Amino acid sequence: MSPERGVKAARETIRQAERLLDSARALLAGHAEAEQAVRSALAPLTAALAREQLAAMPVARLKEVADGGLRTAALERAGYSDVGRVHAASLYELRSISGIGATSASQLKLAAQRLAEAADESAAVRLDVEQQDAGSTALVRALGRLVAAGPELARARQVASGIEEELPRLLAAARPAGSRLRGLFTGRERKGEAAEAVRGLGEWLARSEAEETPLLLTQAATDLLRVHSSDAEAWIDYELRAPEYYGVLSEVVGRTAGPAATDGHLPTELADRVRAQPLDDRHRRVSLRGYQEFGARFALAQRRVIIGDEMGLGKTIQAIAALAHLKADGGTHFMVVCPASVMINWAREIERRSTLKAFLIHGPDRLRHLEEWRRAGDVAVVSVSGLHNLEPGSEAPAMLVVDEAHYVKNPEARRSRAVADWIRRSGHVLFLTGTPMENRVNEFRNLVGHLQPELVERLRGRDVVIGSAEFRRLVAPAYLRRNQEDVLAELPDLIEIDEWEEFSATDHEAYREAVAAGHLMPMRRAAYASPEGSAKLRRLTELVAEAQENNRKVVVFSYFRTVLAAVAERLNGRAVVIGPIDGGVSSARRQELVDEFTALDGPAVLLSQIEAGGVGLNIQAASVVIICEPQIKPTLERQAVARSHRMGQTRTVQVHRLLTVEGVDAAMVRMLAGKDRLFAAYARRSALAETTPEALDVSETVLARRIVEEEQLRLGLVPGQAGPDLTKRY
């Protein structure tokens, strides 16, 4: 190549590199500007919340943060009843108060400032679609720019940062090679360095072209320029994608849950090891919250674990993030085992949140899909009940995910044995469950036994005499749990209301007959036996009418099909009713019903059996939850409520429990309190266990017998011959 052509080629390489650098800088500048817009919109909202906190603090709180002793009596006599007033006052105003000198005034201002800083740091802004004031709207619109850029923005920024870090140095070294005039005044060694730099730029450009970096940067920068055309459009987009908005908000302000909450209060050494675990996002198409990243890293670092996060925290997303990492690390085949009712939801989420393809091994096409999965790889989605029919091939899943893993807590059950077979041939195993233990700690121990048998040996015989804190410490290598209140500060309020009703005459007659027969289930649904005179149905109708007036959607849960039928009959002509979702409805149809309910413009009512709709389905469209009767398993109710009160909910959620003042409802509420305490102490983060699990356990059969006997005695009825009926759902 002639010197002239060499200079021209070098000049063109330099120009292309400069254009690439300009694109990278434009993206980084656009992102920084978008983030600053969020901070500017957030600042007045945070300041207002901090002022509210200070106004609610009595001046006595100043003593807690002062370096020395402070006397606040003079402040209170002068009318300074809260910290907010002290913080707003000037030093001159404080010194003017009788009994407060210059030193005391300075100490008071310093203490108030410390509390103000703490209030500002802890203030968590909640966006409420029902309170679309100017400040909140400005924040929604600012966040919308970053949300619209999508999950590719993070990768584009990472690439742009690498370009910004490397290319300026190479360009400075290469420029003499692109100018004949500069070349005349450049020494031989410098010319060699310039030629080497040009080669380096060429390699950068070739790699960028192969990876489509220019397109990535241009698209991301363009996306950052998009703004909502109106305030209404901004709020609609927020309501549809609330989790993305809050995820971006937490990234911008860097105000996430503290490390202890994020890591589920694991021992420090274990938490540090988990944080050091890499997490590749090349095949992921969703941004993660801090606690979700930690959960995915935990699954990868510990290899065989349970993530027992409370409902609504995105366990599915954490599993998909782990699958995407293993895909990038060379994994080819993966398997998700879940209840049939949520198979479609899993397939949707996998293909929406990652580049992986999902194969439904279910229904008439199961064998064809199985062969496709074996040939192509990625994720097989199999039902818990159908897993034992799956003939093992040569594939060894890089990760086995078992959703609602409490279904395999009985090691003797066929589905548990099938899961155990696949565990043995899988590299990583991840159990997901919001309810790892319902009645007995040993059920939870059985789950751990599937994964890390050595832990079970350490626990055997000890967990009945140690407290919950020590129990959680021992199972930490295999168990991670976080609760909503610890990591989702932005989640709308959950308002729980017990609606106590008196039996009507017809209710009471049906109830006495059920008690005399000695059957628990008829006792539980007796309040609906005569719909015309049902006190509970009257109250339910009032609640639905109120929800309609406020343009809210309602989900009604009951254990019994007959109760749902009575509700449907009562609401006929009064509301748009979808469902019911019950055990006889296929998984595909369940999702269709939820989609139909969600898509409806305006108020509506979704009816569901609590076991069929309380697991797996996301019903954020509903902000009013009505539970027709107390449940024998407290976890059923928690799961059902979490279908609506979860990440993505944008409205305050009201939960109404329909209860009767006397009879089975009151007895169940009282007796089930012990079961709930057991769960809280051992499955949730807690240090309140003061007794043994066995002392707190109330099994279903024992509870049924006890309630029936108590009610027969209370009503002076002769016990019937039949035993407690725990099976009928009609």
Identify each DSSP E strand in 565-621 by its residue range.
577-581, 605-609
pLDDT: which is higher, 206 or 720: 206
Tokens of 34: 């978008």
What average pLDDT does this structure show over 220-230? 87
Output the pLDDT for position 120: 81
Cβ atoms 443, 409 nearer than 8 A: yes
What average pLDDT does this structure show over 108-125? 84
pLDDT: which is higher, 607 or 692: 607
Output the pLDDT for position 4: 65
Output the pLDDT for position 144: 92
Threshold 0.75, pTM exceeds: no
Residue 466, pLDDT above cutoff 60: no
Residue 52, pLDDT above cutoff 60: yes
Per residue in 251-296, pLDDT (tens digit) is: 787 655 556 677 887 888 999 999 999 999 889 988 788 889 999 9
Cβ within 8 Å of residue 322, ≥6 positions away: 296, 299, 300, 399, 428, 430
Output the pLDDT for position 427: 94
Output the pLDDT for position 467: 55
The amino acid at residue 360 is L
What average pLDDT does this structure show over 659-667? 87
693 band by pLDDT with thresholds 50, 70 and 90: very low
Output the pLDDT for position 418: 92
Q: According to the per-residue pLDDT averaged within each range, which of 104-113, 121-130, 487-496, 721-730 is highest?
A: 104-113
Per residue in 178-198, pLDDT (tens digit) is: 665 455 445 566 767 888 888
Q: Do domains 46-122 and 258-486 have the same CATH topology?
A: no
53-67, 307-321, 325-339, 349-363: segment of lowest average pLDDT: 53-67
464 band by pLDDT with thresholds 50, 70 and 90: very low
Output the pLDDT for position 669: 83
Q: Could you give the percent of the chain with pLDDT greater than 70?
A: 85
Output the pLDDT for position 129: 79
Residue 236, pLDDT above cutoff 90: no
15-24, 348-357, 483-492: segment of lowest average pLDDT: 483-492
Output the pLDDT for position 27: 93
Cβ within 8 Å of residue 579, ≥6 positions away: 564, 568, 593, 597, 606, 607, 608
Tokens of 512: 């006495």
**CATH code for the part of the protein at 493-662+699-715:** 3.40.50.300
What average pLDDT does this structure show over 595-618? 84
60-64, 355-359, 551-555, 567-571: segment of lowest average pLDDT: 60-64
**CATH code for the part of the protein at 46-122:** 1.10.150
Output the pLDDT for position 183: 53
Q: Where are the domains of the chain?
A: 3-45+134-234, 46-122, 258-486, 493-662+699-715
290-294, 467-471, 529-533, 642-646: segment of lowest average pLDDT: 467-471
Per residue in 303-313, pLDDT (tens digit) is: 999 998 876 67
Burial 313-337 (b: 16+ CB within 10 A, else e): bbbbbbbbbbbbbbbbeebebbbbb
Fold of the domain built from segment(s) 258-486? Rossmann fold (3.40.50)
d(CA 430, CA 458): 21
Give how far the C-alpha of residue 702 lies from the chain's centroid of Cα atoms, to the nearest Å.
Answer: 35
Average model confidence (pLDDT) across the chain? 83
Output the pLDDT for position 140: 93
What average pLDDT does this structure show over 496-519? 88
Cβ atoms 286, 316 nearer than 8 A: no
What average pLDDT does this structure show over 384-395? 83
pLDDT: which is higher, 615 or 551: 551
Helix (H, G, I), strand (E, B) or coil at 583: coil
